[in-house]
Amino acid sequence: MPKNITIQKILGILLHRIHIILISGALVGLIFFIYTSVAITPVYSTSAMIYILNYGKNAKAVEDPDKQPATGAADSGSSANSSNNETAQKIFNSDMSGSAALAANCIILFQNSKEITSYYDGCAVSMSTTDNSFYVTINVSGSDPQKCANVANIVAEKCDEVFNKYFSYGKTGVIREAYAPTAPVSPDKMKNTLIGVAIGIVLACIVAILMELIDTTIKSDDDLSALYKVPVFAEIPDFENTGR
């Protein structure tokens, strides 16, 4: 018989099968948890941080005669800048903004240098400046936490070498070394389990409602009254099933 489905009836159907719905949610959630734990490879992430300044010299650049400036004017300009900073006992805004611009350009250089990319060792490596500053964060992710830390630290060291190779002035240094992470950043087992529980509950609710819609049997006097459009005055009890 055609069903007259209302919100009240839907709620009644769901409440009548609430135990099945909850069990379905728990089972699907468990399946998602097992799949996440067994089938998905965990990914670990760590980072190192370096700084890049557009003024001053690295010790290495000073010691290397090949790194000396080509003209006396360039050397005097750097010396004047250093002297001004020492005299004022502060770093000028121009130094800060210039260092930030240099850091952004160095990231492009580092990411395209074979001397650096050859040490990635299968890990995913990205570099970015922090809040448009001259601090560069080297992010490394992969399946092996110790390898990620090693790659991040090696890349940080190689950045200094590449910088000194292409720039006679300016300096770099490591602010924070990378350490092996103790927990993966993905997959999120709890999140995936909750998603599985939600999917299981929704599917069970849909199945329960569909089963009610395709069920053509008469189960109550309300069904009979709705079918024949007449009121039901009395019911004959089923003595066999009731045990009387």
Name the residue ranges covered by the structural domains of the chain: 7-39+188-242, 44-176
Q: What angle do CA 32, 34, 35 make, to 5 degrees?
A: 65
Predicted confidence (pLDDT) per residue in 21-63, tens digit: 999 999 999 999 999 999 999 999 999 999 999 887 654 444 4
Predicted confidence (pLDDT) per residue in 9-31, tens digit: 888 888 988 999 999 999 999 99
- Which residues, 6 or more positions from 14, have their beta carbon under 8 angstroms from its beta carbon? 21, 205, 208, 209
Q: How far apart are the first and last CA of the chain?
A: 31
Stated pTM of the model:
0.68
Is the pLDDT reported for residue 110 higher than 70? yes
Question: Which pLDDT belongs to residue 226?
Answer: 59
Question: Which pLDDT belongs to residue 1?
Answer: 45
The residues pairing with 186 across neighbouring beta strands, listed in sequence order, are 43
Q: 44-176: which CATH topology? A: Alpha-Beta Plaits (3.30.70)
Is the pLDDT reported for residue 194 higher than 90? yes
Predicted confidence (pLDDT) per residue in 63-75, tens digit: 444 544 444 444 4
Summary mean pLDDT of the chain? 82
Structure token pair of residue 121: 């060792």
DSSP H helical segments within 70-217, as ranges?
A: 72-88, 93-111, 114-117, 145-166, 189-214
